[in-house]
Chain A
């Protein structure tokens, strides 16, 4: 069965510094997709970045980049130049057949001024 593991329940980072949020996954399917979502205290789920298993390059979206190491089955999210508004829960997710998502437990990020 497919599984997503986020081992960091909480992380702290100083404003303007970079932070890496860990995500490992387990699947036997050679074709899969990995997503990162942000959930601020208001509750909505905000899509951040996507990485396909066949993508040759690591995905980047503005200040977000994904450190994709296929052999290690890891897909870590890197946030550069952290801002106070980055304080939120972050979820790593994997796409299963029929496009449904399985989520990790999440990492709560706190950005300090």
Chain B
């Protein structure tokens, strides 16, 4: 158990709908990362927050948005869903946002999204 929690574990929805994925980082971790794992794109970085502020953006679609709340949990919002959005969405957390050294990211169990 990494200490990172994600809810829900599975989500099945229809095209055009909107969903929210939730992540609680490990206690003490200020940085949260979202990754998408799909058959087409592999594992790719979406977005990063550090202590409530967006720090880095990857290949995140405009239909997707995220935020990190004062209690440090984060939500990833996916709207106007398409079949291609079906994927495993991981949240990870780390103590710091960058710099040298180890800075291991601890991954949550993921949310498997299926768009029908």
Sorted nearest first, the 3 A-B pairs with minimum C-beta distance are A45-B107, A103-B43, A98-B56
**Interface check A19, CB cutoff 8 A:** no
Contacts of B79 in A (CB 8 A): none
Of residues 77 through 111 on chain B, the ones whose CB sits less than 8 Å from some CB of chain A are 88, 90, 92, 94, 96-107, 109-110
- Given A99-B48, A105-B42, A106-B42, the answer on whether A43 and B103 have CB atoms closer than 8 Å is no
A-B contact count (CB 8 A): 67
The reply to whether A47 and B109 form a contact with Cβ atoms under 8 Å apart is no
The reply to whether B42 and A100 form a contact with Cβ atoms under 8 Å apart is no
Contacts of B92 in A (CB 8 A): 45
Which one of B42, B90, B96, B109 contacts A99 once the chains associate, using CB atoms below 8 Å? Answer: B96
Complex CA distance for A43 and B102, rounded to whole angstroms: 24
Q: Is the interface of B mostly helix, strand, loop or mixed?
A: strand
The reply to whether B98 and A101 form a contact with Cβ atoms under 8 Å apart is no
Which B residues form the contact surface with A (CB < 8 A)? 2, 31, 33, 35, 42-45, 48, 50, 55-56, 58, 88, 90, 92, 94, 96-107, 109-110, 112
The reply to whether A99 and B45 form a contact with Cβ atoms under 8 Å apart is no
| A interface residues, tally (CB under 8 Å) | 24
Which A residues form the contact surface with B (CB < 8 A)? 31, 33, 35, 37, 43-47, 50, 52, 91, 95-106
User: Taking CB as reference atom, which chain B residue is nearest A106?
Assistant: B42
Which one of B31, B43, B55, B104 contacts A47 once the chains associate, using CB atoms below 8 Å? Answer: B104
